[in-house]
Amino acid sequence: MTERATTARLIEVFSAIQGEGPIVGTRQLFVRFAQCDLRCDYCDSDRTWLAPDTCEIEQTPGARDFVTEPNPVALAQLLAWVQRLDRPNLHDSISLTGGEPLLHSPFLQQFLPAIKQVCALPIYLETGGHRPQQLEPLLPWIDWVGMDLKLPSVSGETHWAAHEQMLRLCVAAQKWVFVKAIVSEATTLADLTRSAELVAAIDPHLVYVMQPVSPLPAPIKPDRQPPQPPIPAQVLQWQQHLKQWLPQTIVIPQTHKAIGQL
């Protein structure tokens, strides 16, 4: 078995409140993976773009008593950390987040069956929605999928075909899946329309989350200014437009930032 299948580079493992999407407010055990192959203009987790030599592991759920551990992390070690944080009746799910967790698909093909043997929590994948080939072998062990839909006018990324393929895989596997699109003052009606048509052609009953971009303290790209939030009137107009295709279009900001949980 290769090293990629038995180790992974992490950013952190911790317990916190989910701040985004339709399961906002639930308590999750987060496993944040290092590395991302996208460079979205609005990214608030650019520290995950690269693979650090160390990661931060919380010792007590929610206590923020982190200790520093070396990367890469062995499969057995991650299993032990997750089991230690998994206190009875505390968490609603395990969130695989990043970075882009699907860059670690070989590792997850070993980790997910193993954690399912010792933990009853649902597995929730948070993904950029652009790696369907890496998702497919993991679907038997994933329960929920939060799939980003990258609007080119906001993110600077274009992945329409991969988004469609990935969403079709989730629906065919009968997974609970929703899509999330970050919107800013630069969002175009053409991008929103194309995204709505893409999702509705697969399943018009899926939840579509519009998430107004959170302002960044400084640009993450020296040649581009960070996106700014849209005005409320524009969000209302966009929601009305999207609901022509997707009745379950909802607006949810990043609530964890509002309560100071960063």
Give the range of the structural domain holding residue 188, as residue numbers without chain letter: 3-256
State yes or no: pLDDT of 178 exceeds 80: yes
pLDDT band of residue 2 (cuts 50, 70, 90) is: confident
**Which of the pair, 217 or 125, is modelled with greater confidence?**
125
In a domain, 261, yes or no: no
Calpha distance 75→177 (Å, rounded): 27
Domain count, the chain: 1
In a domain, 117, yes or no: yes
Query: What count of other Cβ atoms lies within 10 Å of the Cβ of residue 114?
Result: 15
In a domain, 262, yes or no: no
Q: Coil, strand or helix: which one is 170?
A: helix
The number of angstroms, rounded, from the C-alpha of 19 to the middle of its chain's C-alpha atoms is 11
Task: For residue range 24-83, list pLDDT tens digits in order.
Answer: 999 999 999 999 999 888 887 777 788 899 999 999 999 999 999 999 999 999 999 999
At residue 256, the pLDDT reads 66
State yes or no: pLDDT of 102 exceeds 90: yes
Handedness of CA 68, 70, 72, 78 (dihedral sign): negative
pLDDT band of residue 232 (cuts 50, 70, 90) is: very high
Q: Model pTM?
A: 0.93
State yes or no: pLDDT of 217 exceeds 70: no
Task: For residue range 127-165, list pLDDT tens digits in order.
Answer: 999 999 999 999 999 999 999 999 999 999 999 999 999
In a domain, 233, yes or no: yes
In a domain, 154, yes or no: yes
* 181 backbone φψ class: left, alpha, beta (φ>0; ψ -120 to 50): beta
Calpha distance 241→100 (Å, rounded): 30
Q: What is the CATH number of the domain that holds 91?
A: 3.20.20.70
Residue 139 near residue 164 (C-beta atoms within 8 A): no
**Do the strands 10-17 and 93-97 form a parallel or antiparallel pair, or are they unpaired?**
unpaired
In a domain, 131, yes or no: yes
Average pLDDT of the chain, as a whole number: 93
Tokens of 8: 């992974």
At residue 227, the pLDDT reads 81
